Amino acid sequence: MKITKVFTLLAMTGLVFTGCNNADKKANVENPFFVKWDTPFQVPPFDKITSDCYMEAFEKGIQEQNENIAAIVNNNEAATFENTIVALELSGELLNKVQGVFFNMIESDRDDKMNEVAEVILPKLSNHGDNIMLNEALFARVKAVYESDEAAKLQGEDARLLKETFKSFEFGGANLSPESKEKLRAINTKLSELTFKFGKNLSQETNAFQLIIDNQADLDGLPEGVIAGAAQEAKAKGLDGKWLFTLAEPSRVPFLTYSTKRELREKVFKGYANRCNNDNEFDNKEVINEIVKARVEKAHLFGFKNYSEYLLQDRMAKNPENVFGLLNKLWASAIPNAKKEVVEMQKIVDAEGGKFKIEAWDWWFYSEKVKQAKYSLDEEMLRPYFVLDNVRDGAFELAHRLWGLHFNEIKDIPVYNKEEVRVWEVTEEDGKHIGVLYMDFHPRESKSVGAWMTAFTEQSNPKGENIPPVISVVCNFSKPSGDKPALLSVDEVQTLFHEFGHALHGLLSNCKYRSLSGTSVATDFVELPSQVMENWALEPEVLNFYAKHYQTGEVIPQELVTKIQNSGLFNQGFMTVEYLAASLLDMYYSTINEVKDIDVLKFENDEMSKIGLIGEIIPRYRSTYFKHIFDGDPGYSSGYYSYIWAAVLDADAFQAFKETSLFDKETATSFRENVLSKGGTEEAMELYKKFRGREPQIEPLLIRRGLN
């Protein structure tokens, strides 16, 4: 995952925000956002930034950008690329500085005060955005430049910046009639309220679920570590001597996988699958109905048939037909695989004398049994070889072999959490500075779940002086325990390589303008640099340099490597089907053409039975908790397909290395020059073609997923 300006509000407290004059603020210390950062490599001065400083900085940032824009609009000279487009690009420097820190910190190390700030500032920022996009005098100047003789002479990134700026005004409603603009403002406000409500309902209902176990027998089958974790959870809630299971992944997934108590697995599964669908105060069905209607209305204002067409105009996929084309093609081959997997699991049930048919809540438990039987592979056999520090150094070594990069740890630099955060300077082979990389690997209460990459500072070079990137990778990996170092699961190893790929996209950026640099690319292209790196993680040649036993230092034995490789297609039917079902559900919502009430449950059931989803699988996200598409606007609406879209690209891109060598310098250099360094300065497909010499082919993905 990659997050830029995404946020979650977890706690809603009754505190009133009191601004930077708060008593907690160090007396007479100037707001650190208002001064030049004199830290090493100009990283944010985390030692000086407190939660009280954000609100004042946001407000001053908005005010300064308004002044910047007034200056552009009131310029007596005719509009030029420099005095309008570049001036707009460089406006809001302070706002950008504070957003870069705030929206990363609220995910990584939040406190109540930051939640308070977010609640106040989000609607203000949304309104601020509308004020810029719907500013008629500003758009008149942008349009004048766009239609001028000067525009025809612009080249490269300048031409691209002009085109993208003009398009973002169109996308934001600048061309609408005054009456439609008013409607748009109202719809945007409504959508920000509704999507906020969706997310709030979801987090409250998720947190409300508890499975409390009070007798040993009901723990049957669960691994020791999971039991210990549940005991700790219970103790924290004052339930000493009992065991508490929640819907959080580290609790729910092992429970579904290992618990031998079928009725308890069903309880946990249904608790998860029915969230916000219980006709109580947290129910999201009516919220979804209202969101969907507002989005169709918005699309109609812009003259599009539906929300998907409005959103896809600027993506690689271009239109809904192309998305459906890919999803339906994959669906047709994935469904038979999933059915075969059900048969294999049912055989085990029957052999054990179980008198029942496999249901959705049985999948994790019986697929694990199939895995053990077919591949004699147990995750716990691999963990000792995946020491977190070694895996990280393995990713660094890979970047060294491919691009000659060096990673030198910096000890004396401000960090936001002294126990958890470590920092590296990234340099070229010849020692030239590239950027700074922060890494923050373990869970804590102040951190959101999941894994992501962010930028504190994005690379740019607008005036011939490079501003190097400051990038951060945040994860929630297994912690060290006792005298054992942090030992990762295979999933976590791949996640580390994935986020490292996003980080390289930010670090190796070599662009002129910030809004076109690094990961500022189309939603369906951004997962290419990350997903492609995952391909290397489990290759034997790569495992050789990082997968070493934490006690003996022994390199992972060939026998285990073979087992990993043999099990590559395991459960792919299920994983592809549940993912595609959610992607299709997203597309069905976003291609509704009429503003009309829908019965959300009926809609979901009808669409899923039309495509032939089998009863043993539910979509990875059902409507009432599909936060990618309903928590935030547009969020990943009409965009959940992006992961598989990018998977076509990454499988095809990795094939280029397979055809030469895993560390082929020429292929690596081409990938860096044409993809990693280019940000969004050209159309994604053009960048890809320059790297690969042709358009991507789907076959490598089909083979990888057993769909050929």
Q: Using CB under 5 A as the criterion, which residues of the chain lie in contact with Zn ion when the complex forms?
A: 1-2, 527, 530
Q: Which is nearer to Zn ion, 158 or 527 (CB)?
A: 527
Nearest distance in Å: CB 643, Zn ion: 8
- CA dihedral (663, 665, 671, 672) positive or negative: positive
Nearest distance in Å: CB 529, Zn ion: 9
Nearest distance in Å: CB 452, Zn ion: 7
Nearest distance in Å: CB 641, Zn ion: 14
Phi and psi based region of residue 367 (left: phi greater than 0; alpha: psi -120 to 50; beta: remaining): alpha
* Residue 613: closest CA among 390, 335, 404: 335
* Residue 636: closest CA among 152, 195, 124: 195
Q: Report which secondary-structure segment, H or E, holds 193.
A: helix 178-208
How many beta carbons lie within 10 A of that of residue 31, not counting itself? Answer: 19
Nearest distance in Å: CB 473, Zn ion: 11
Q: Identify the bridge partners of residue 437 per DSSP, sorted by sequence position.
A: 424, 471
Q: What are 225's two structure tokens?
A: 């570590």
Q: Which is nearer to Zn ion, 1 or 490 (CB)?
A: 1
Nearest distance in Å: CB 121, Zn ion: 26
Q: Which is nearer to Zn ion, 399 or 528 (CB)?
A: 528
In the chain, how long is the greatest CA-to-CA distance? Answer: 86
Burial string for 351-388 (b: 16+ CB within 10 Å, else e) reads eeeeeeebebbbbbbbbbebbeeebebeeeebbbbbbb
- CA dihedral (448, 452, 455, 458) positive or negative: negative
Q: Which is nearer to Zn ion, 256 or 649 (CB)?
A: 649
Q: Which is nearer to Zn ion, 494 or 624 (CB)?
A: 494
Q: Which is nearer to Zn ion, 3 or 402 (CB)?
A: 3
Q: DSSP characters for 539-564?
A: -HHHHHHH-B-TTT-PBPPHHHHHHH
Nearest distance in Å: CB 410, Zn ion: 26
Q: For the purposes of burial, counting CB atoms within 10 Å of the CB of 115, is it exposed (0-12), middle (13-18) or buried (19 or more)? A: buried
Nearest distance in Å: CB 453, Zn ion: 7
Beginning with the edge strand found earlier in the chain, give each strand of the sheet holding 421-427 in spatial order.
406-410, 421-427, 433-440, 470-474, 452-457
The CA distance from 688 to 524, in Å, is 13
The CA distance from 90 to 88, in Å, is 5
Nearest distance in Å: CB 168, Zn ion: 23
Q: Which is nearer to Zn ion, 335 or 644 (CB)?
A: 644
499 is an active site residue: yes
Burial string for 138-159 (b: 16+ CB within 10 Å, else e) reads bbebbbebbebebbeebeebbe
Q: Which is nearer to Zn ion, 570 or 643 (CB)?
A: 643
Q: What totals of helices (H) and strands (E) does the chain contain, helices first?
A: 28, 7
Tell me, rounded to whole angstroms, the distance of Cα 622 from its chain centroid: 19
Residue type, 491: D
| Residue labelled with tokens 């001036």 | 87
Nearest distance in Å: CB 649, Zn ion: 13
Write the CB contacts of 683 (distance below 8 Å, at least 6 apart in sequence): none
Q: Which is nearer to Zn ion, 2 or 275 (CB)?
A: 2
Q: Which is nearer to Zn ion, 65 or 642 (CB)?
A: 642
From the candidates 499, 604, 607, 616, give the one annotated as an active-site residue: 499
Q: Which is nearer to Zn ion, 1 or 90 (CB)?
A: 1
The DSSP 8-state label assigned to residue 173 in this structure reads T
Q: Which is nearer to Zn ion, 1 or 154 (CB)?
A: 1
Nearest distance in Å: CB 362, Zn ion: 30
Calculate ∠ Cα 309-311-315, nearest 5°.
100
Phi and psi based region of residue 444 (left: phi greater than 0; alpha: psi -120 to 50; beta: remaining): beta
Q: For the purposes of burial, counting CB atoms within 10 Å of the CB of 220, is it exposed (0-12), middle (13-18) or buried (19 or more)? A: exposed
Nearest distance in Å: CB 507, Zn ion: 15
| Residue labelled with tokens 């990134």 | 157
Q: Which residue has its beta carbon closest to Zn ion?
A: 530
| Residue labelled with tokens 């060290």 | 480
Q: Identify the bridge partners of residue 424 per DSSP, sorted by sequence position.
A: 409, 437
Tell me, rounded to whole angstroms, the distance of Cα 547 from its chain centroid: 27
> 509 near 469, Cβ under 8 Å?
yes
Q: What are 652's two structure tokens?
A: 């095809």
The CA distance from 364 to 356, in Å, is 16
Q: Which residues are catalytic?
A: 499
